[in-house]
Structure 1
Amino acid sequence: MNTAALATADSRSPDISTDASARDDAALFRKITWRLMPLLCACYVLNYLDRTNVGYAQLQMKDQLGFSDAVFGLGAGIFFIGYAVFEIPSNLMLAKIGVRATLLRIMGLWGLASAAMMFATTPTQFYVLRFLIGVFEAGFAPGVLFYLTLWFPSHRRAQATALFFMAFGAAPIVAGPIAGLTMTYLDGVLSLRGWQWLFLLEGLPSVLLGVAAFCWLSNSPSQAAWLSAAEKQRVARLLAEDQAAHGAAGRHTFGAAMRDGRVWLIGFMSFLIILGIYALSFWQPTILKSMGLSVLQIGFYSVIPALAGIAANIVVGRHSDRRKERRWHFALSAVVGAAGLALTTLFMHNAVAAVLCLSLAAMGISAAFTVLWAVPGNFMSKSAAAAGIALISTIGGSAGLVAPMMVGWLKTLTGSFTPSLYVLSGALVLSALLMLAALPASALGRARH
């Protein structure tokens, strides 16, 4: 017997075992990803459509209903008052009743309210319905982000988060063409205007998808009938090890999350990023219309920035996971987004060049937003994560009120979108500086991110 050969084989067995374990883990989380993410992404696409389709609808309804830019800006933004007020209660309820019942409630109610927008004829009706959509939708995105912490350890979470936010970036690919085609070819059918058809056709599917989510999803790995007992144990052990590695075990209460300065800082950085997201979501169609494009052209031109944002979302999220680094990935992405917005101001009369600059902005903003949301789970326990993520989302989501109103006000005051694009660009630069200067790597938990 060759004892030297046996010794060599024995010395290699730990590496072989480690490699096999890594492959098993990768296969397990691929299984989880394919089970959860397609439906969650579809829900997020409809979420985006129903909160931002007013940006396309206003291309017709502003003139037909006599709404000014200021009225539209307030109506677009008032959604976020209801959203902010009910965000944390909704997420705390999710932690108690589970994601299945929560998504059924949220999506059913927001879908009906969004469809009811077709009946709005006065500013007051417009404001009330937008507020109700915000109330009903509150808790969706932070609820899903909390849900992901129940399934993915932190070193896999950025990629899962990137896939989820990819839906947010992909939604304009669907939103633009659907809005352009609907408002062009259904205008006048059954005595309804194009914008009315848009609200109806994008609102009702949310109700159906809420029912699908209730039937398809599992509230936690332990309740997943599609996982074997060994797989459930493996997920639980990996999540427990990840929690211990990041030193979050002692932070168990809502109050702890509220007192954590990192939560408030990340919330403010989210606010700065979302200023750019929602300013573009609501006003990009109007910016393109000011360049002489038709409604149908605007719908298809809007696809280009969305595709660019998706690509950056996936590449940067995956690279951030691989390198286990967040701060520089976020900061550089935010600066790229700022550059794209600033450059857009130089080409306000050149649609092709402006769309390319908006694509650069979308790449930076999408990537920064994805990386930022991979950070909170690094230092919050599961029990604190529901409240902490909801608080971050509430702070950041308030930008949805500020951004449309600010852009509308500056447009009315100056007659141009240029000042608001400079303001949004500055906000992105500030977020990058805050990440690097005020949130050191040591503040993100024991592991270096």
Structure 2
Amino acid sequence: MNLESTADIAASAPASEAALSVTVAKVARRLIPFLCILYFFAYLDRFNVGFAALTMNHDLGLSVAAYGFAASMFFWGYILFEVPSNLVLGKVGARFWISRIMVTWGLISAATIFVTGGTSLSALRFLLGAAEAGFLPGILVYLTEWFPRGDRARMIGMFQIAMPLSGVLGAPVSSLILAHMHGLGGLAGWKWLFLTQGLPSVLLGISCLWLLPSRPSEAKWLGTSERLQLERVLDAERRQTEAVRKFTLREGFTNPRVLVLALLFFCLVCGSTGVGFFLPLIVKDFGLPTVQIGVVTAIPYLLSVIGMVWWSRRSDAKGKRIEYVALAAIFAAAGFLLAAFTLKTPVVAVIGLSMGCIGVFASFPVFWTLPPSFLTGITAAASMAFINSLGNVSGVVGPGFIGWTRDVSGGFTLMLAILAVLMTGAAALSLVFARMNRRATPASLSRI
């Protein structure tokens, strides 16, 4: 049986496949837009420091390298608290814990208005990472409790379009805040940036307590038959996965496939952090004013929204996973390489940067279907948090290292070339995982 096919499982259920599709669509309409909004602000609060840097660095007297180091402190907190946070989520439930995460990160992000230099900025970034830890893997595990395998790449893709959307909407809005709110109430524009983009997360976090049921059985907006059918399908899929092999919690951290996925994710996150923290600064080197920087920066993100949705839908339709991760990584590598050598030609450079963004972001929703393909339950939750933690080590070393390359080389060519190499490495690791998976999984269950 093809593990990716909802239809195969639904065929044995009392209701029809069509009825299951209607239920899945109803769940998607109810949950995905709200989750997308949550992630939008999570990603915005994580990377709005990249726009703040346009004026904040001067006000605080930070070099690019010093800024990169402070920005990277987010990932120290994120990595250290990621797995513990996800384990707590498994105990107390998604509704309460996601609410807690959002309220605390929103308050800390807003508190960045009080920083006075590199040390205080580093401390706040560390606390922001600790507060946000567990959010993404927690949501990804949450989605496995609601959507059958054959629908997951599409649903994760719809949820994760919040990442590039934060650039599409966040970039021009951030530039307008910097340009037009500077001095209002005696606050610098970059302080208004953190304040106006941090406080909404607090309100959204509180609303989670009413809008996020933990599982289908708690969803009053589903009919009784819909709840029963959906849980029956999801339980059948879990049993199928565990019939191949049920991994212990310890194996969720030590299994070779998990380690390869962690290294693969590290390469992919290098691309997203490089773009998130430095794309505004790259565009600034084109000689554009602040508002135009926001508009041009939004272009790669806008195209990434389209690419992410299209690529994840194709992955579901074709039932292919790891191949689509590899192809997206190769596309990103080509784009970063093109941009690296055309920075003196802004139009071509933006095309290359757009290709890089599209490839990186399109790979994420397909990538996150891989761990639940062979892990279940608390092991899957802990393993996904572990993969996310190790992947985000790139955020610790990347910004500081990239800032250093900018300081010593006087441009971003070296940085983009390094990102191209890392994306090529991600493609190679995808092939390694595919080979390992074929050896570990029976032929009738190995279609990922």
Report the TM-score when normalising by structure 2: 0.94
> Which position in structure 1 is the counterpart of 2:94?
99
Quote how far apart the aligned CAs of 1:191 are: 1.0
Offset from partner CA, 1:12-60 (integer Å, 9 cap, x none):
xxx9999981211111100111111111100001001111011000100
**How does 1:7-18 map onto structure 2 within 5 Å?**
none
Report the TM-score when normalising by structure 1: 0.94
Quote how far apart the aligned CAs of 1:238 are: 0.7
> Which position in structure 2 is the counterpart of 1:254?
249
Q: Hey, what's the Cα distance between the residues in 1 that align with 2:351 and 2:278?
A: 16
> Which position in structure 2 is the counterpart of 1:276?
271
- Is the counterpart of residue 186 in structure 1 residue 181 in structure 2? yes
> Which position in structure 2 is the counterpart of 1:442?
438
Quote how far apart the aligned CAs of 1:310 are: 1.0
Quote how far apart the aligned CAs of 1:123 are: 1.1
Over 3 Å counting, the alpha-carbon distance change for 1:358 and 1:443 in structure 2 is: farther
**How does 1:248-397 map onto structure 2 within 5 Å?**
250-251=245-246, 253-397=248-392
| Match 1:232 to one of 213, 224, 227 | 227
Q: Hey, what's the Cα distance between the residues in 2 that align with 1:169 and 1:314?
A: 11
> Which position in structure 1 is the counterpart of 2:193?
198
Amino acid at match of 1:352: V
Contact 1:150/1:382 (CA < 8 Å) preserved in 2?
no
Aligned residues: 435
Cα-Cα RMSD: 1.8
Contact 1:379/1:444 (CA < 8 Å) preserved in 2?
no
Structure 1: unaligned runs, 5 residues or longer: 1-14
Offset from partner CA, 1:150-178 (integer Å, 9 cap, x none):
11122211111111111112110111011
Quote how far apart the aligned CAs of 1:399 are: 1.2
Contact 1:276/1:403 (CA < 8 Å) preserved in 2?
no
- Is the counterpart of residue 143 in structure 1 residue 103 in structure 2? no
- Is the counterpart of residue 43 in structure 1 residue 38 in structure 2? yes
Contact 2:113/2:195 (CA < 8 Å) preserved in 1?
yes
Contact 1:277/1:365 (CA < 8 Å) preserved in 2?
yes
Contact 1:248/1:380 (CA < 8 Å) preserved in 2?
no
Q: Hey, what's the Cα distance between the residues in 2 that align with 1:386 and 1:124?
A: 34
Quote how far apart the aligned CAs of 1:249 are: 6.8
Contact 1:252/1:383 (CA < 8 Å) preserved in 2?
no
Q: Hey, what's the Cα distance between the residues in 2 that align with 1:248 and 1:403?
A: 40
Please give the secondary structure, in 2, of the residue aligned with 1:380: coil
Offset from partner CA, 1:56-86 (integer Å, 9 cap, x none):
0010011121111111000110100000000
Please give the secondary structure, in 1, of the residue aligned with 2:395: helix
Offset from partner CA, 1:172-200 (integer Å, 9 cap, x none):
01110111100000011111110010000
> Which position in structure 2 is the counterpart of 1:416?
411
Q: Hey, what's the Cα distance between the residues in 2 that align with 1:197 and 1:84?
A: 28
Amino acid at match of 1:448: R
Q: Hey, what's the Cα distance between the residues in 1 that align with 2:209 and 2:14?
A: 37
- Is the counterpart of residue 70 in structure 1 residue 70 in structure 2? no
Contact 1:262/1:439 (CA < 8 Å) preserved in 2?
no
Quote how far apart the aligned CAs of 1:248 are: 5.5
Contact 2:329/2:427 (CA < 8 Å) preserved in 1?
yes
Please give the secondary structure, in 2, of the residue aligned with 1:67: coil
Amino acid at match of 2:260: L
Over 3 Å counting, the alpha-carbon distance change for 1:96 and 1:19 in structure 2 is: closer
Q: Hey, what's the Cα distance between the residues in 2 that align with 1:436 and 1:128?
A: 39
Q: Hey, what's the Cα distance between the residues in 2 that align with 1:261 and 1:17?
A: 34
Larger Rg: 1
Q: Hey, what's the Cα distance between the residues in 2 that align with 1:219 and 1:319?
A: 29
- Is the counterpart of residue 430 in structure 1 residue 425 in structure 2? yes
Over 3 Å counting, the alpha-carbon distance change for 1:227 and 1:18 in structure 2 is: closer
Q: Hey, what's the Cα distance between the residues in 1 that align with 2:101 and 2:272?
A: 22
Q: Hey, what's the Cα distance between the residues in 1 that align with 2:354 and 2:12?
A: 45
Contact 2:267/2:426 (CA < 8 Å) preserved in 1?
yes
Offset from partner CA, 1:313-339 (integer Å, 9 cap, x none):
111111111111112111111000000
Contact 2:329/2:426 (CA < 8 Å) preserved in 1?
yes
Contact 2:328/2:359 (CA < 8 Å) preserved in 1?
yes
Over 3 Å counting, the alpha-carbon distance change for 1:436 and 1:156 in structure 2 is: same
Higher deviation after alignment, 94-103 or 437-446: 437-446
Please give the secondary structure, in 1, of the residue aligned with 2:16: helix
- Is the counterpart of residue 219 in structure 1 residue 218 in structure 2? no
Over 3 Å counting, the alpha-carbon distance change for 1:334 and 1:19 in structure 2 is: farther
Structure 2: unaligned runs, 5 residues or longer: 1-9
> Which position in structure 2 is the counterpart of 1:82?
77
| Match 1:23 to one of 18, 22, 27 | 18
Q: Hey, what's the Cα distance between the residues in 2 that align with 1:79 and 1:321?
A: 33
| Match 1:399 to one of 394, 403, 414 | 394
- Is the counterpart of residue 55 in structure 1 residue 57 in structure 2? no
Amino acid at match of 1:66: G
Contact 1:262/1:443 (CA < 8 Å) preserved in 2?
no
Offset from partner CA, 1:405-438 (integer Å, 9 cap, x none):
1210111121121111111111111111111134
Contact 1:118/1:200 (CA < 8 Å) preserved in 2?
yes
> Which position in structure 1 is the counterpart of 2:129?
134
How many percent of aligned residue pairs carry the same amino acid? Answer: 37
